[in-house]
Amino acid sequence: MKKPNTVQTILSAVCIFLLFHSNYTIGNNLSFGAYIKAPLAPDGPTVKDNNLVVEKIVDGLNIPTSMAFLGPNDLLVTEKETGRVIHIVDGQIQEAPALDVSVATAIERGLLGIAVSKQTDGRTFVFLSYTESGNDEDGSDYGSNVEPEGNRLYRYEYVNGQLINPILLLDLTAIPPNDRGEHNGGKIRIGPDNNIYFIVGEVGGHRTQAQNIEDGPAPNGLGGVLRITQDGQIVPGEPIFGDELPLNLYYAMGIRNSFGMDFDPVTGNLWDTENGPATGDEINMVYPGFNSGWALIQGLSQSDLLGSGATSNDLVYFGNASYAEPKLSWVTPIGITALKFLNSDKLGKQYENNMFVGDINNGLLYRFILNEARDDLTFDSGELTGNISLLADREVNDPKENQPFVFGQGFGGITDIEVSPDGYLYVLSYTGSLFRIVPASSSSSSSFSTAIAGGSGGAEGGGGGGEDNTNGNSIPAVISGLYGDNSYSPNPITIERGQTITWYNGDTISHTVTSGQGNDADGGQLFDSEAIIPNQYFSITFEDSGVYPYYCFYHPSMVGEVIVE
């Protein structure tokens, strides 16, 4: 390994100093629903346009997180917990991985991001971001309490199917004040200026001035979009936030966590997705000096979803920084993830330069159209169907307001979206599958199948997210949506021992049937459906008498009760 450069060394020292010398109290904002992933639809993913089909390219990947193309039908895929970079050529996983690194894996740690850059001298650089293991063993942070080395950005060279010659470009702390390995971000993009853009979250609740805590420690490189050259140097020119490390690394700050960003191929503007805690997922246009508002503002400032009472005047600003409202916000999180512009007309001229976004909770693929100036989203282009008037406030107040821009469903939790060199849209699923969306006229094949596991415990469960298991001894129930004790119908449900209840998800987003209540330490011990995606079913047979309260793990205000006589 080459010796770290000056930027990396100083930044690492700053992070270590803040970790051990800050007395600032850290809050633990956490949306546990983000850690349940949508399963694949039993019959595979579909899109709304009958002229397009979804093809499965490969499956069997191990928790894939990101992908990047080397050429047509030639791509690299990162696996979160194995630390492997998988090479896929013509739909075939190559026997030897291009690289295998040791990663910490707790919660959102792991091998997270990848980007490819072709050089004028013929070399191919591959940039990887990962939480590096503290003892060269995968998962030792989770299994043996070994602290990770850091959240690191490396540059490799791709030669004959292998990644070689690693150079450490950035070294950020991976030590979380709240003892959870979350909010590490990790996506990488090569910008129109040929520089590297790397998005990193707050890493388990760091509260510095970069998180808009005025009396907090100085920024430590977390909670923003960082920008460096491909050699790991400070980008020359007028500083955005300041001319000292680490301020001169930031392109944007005030970001809680993100799993997606991309550059508009028309304007070169950067856009990102941002995850809220129990509320306030966002889509933002990210300009130099953008302050996204966390940890005082999440979602639209006037909605005050965090209950902080803060306005943009309460944020911490460096240099030429300023705040801007999100272009769209969700009151109820969807677990927003990947974002990609389709810089191709291969799926139809109407989709060219549209923005596609994924989520982890529901397995939905969203399509967004930009306005003529390409500085905002528009919902009145005439191409979207549904009640678009509800989106005039730029806030999804009810999950059903999603429907005009839902483009596809059933993908399982989406972790990345990319466009291949030949212009088709690829979708990577946390479940281990890679899909491609192509015109039906050019499709080679399309077949899907998956087994969806059910719950277990004090009752016998099965069919979660899968087929309708109703029979003569089964009681049907419907999951209606976020309506408190009216969310499940009927409620309560009274049955006899040995009878089965089959819940159908009639809502537009995923829900669960989880034993207990949202504040129970043993919630889900008796039964847990995991994610039931829209239009799918989950069945439980109750063998013992008793009263069984249950709730939705995603949305704990949704509650129900089963009485077994």
Task: Look at residue 3 in the predicted model and tell me its pLDDT.
Answer: 35
Backbone phi, psi, residue 401, to 5°:
-70, -10
Please give the Cα distance from 280 to 259 (Å, whole number): 15
Count of beta carbons in the 10 Å neighbourhood of residue 303: 17
Structural domains in the chain, sorted by start:
6-20+45-442 (2.120.10.30), 460-564 (2.60.40.420)
Res 447 pLDDT > 70: no
Rounded to the nearest integer, the mean pLDDT of the chain is 90
Q: Average of pLDDT values for 114-140?
A: 98
Interacting residues of 240 by C-beta distance below 8 A, sequence separation 6+: 248, 250, 251, 288, 289, 319, 320, 321
Q: Greater confidence, 520 or 463?
A: 520
Q: Are 355 and 337 in contact (CB under 8 A)?
A: no
Please list the residues that pair with 282 across neighbouring strands.
274, 329
Question: How long a stretch of residues is the chain?
Answer: 565
Please give the Cα distance from 108 to 314 (Å, whole number): 30
Condensed to tens digits (0 to 9), the pLDDT of residues 11-54 reads 443 443 333 333 322 222 233 334 578 999 999 999 999 999 99
Res 446 pLDDT > 90: no
Please give the Cα distance from 396 to 216 (Å, whole number): 32
Task: Look at residue 465 in the predicted model and tell me its pLDDT.
Answer: 52
Please give the Cα distance from 400 to 397 (Å, whole number): 9
> Which pTM does this prediction carry?
0.90
**Between the CA atoms of 238, 202, 285 and 300, what dihedral angle is there, to the nearest 10 degrees?**
-130
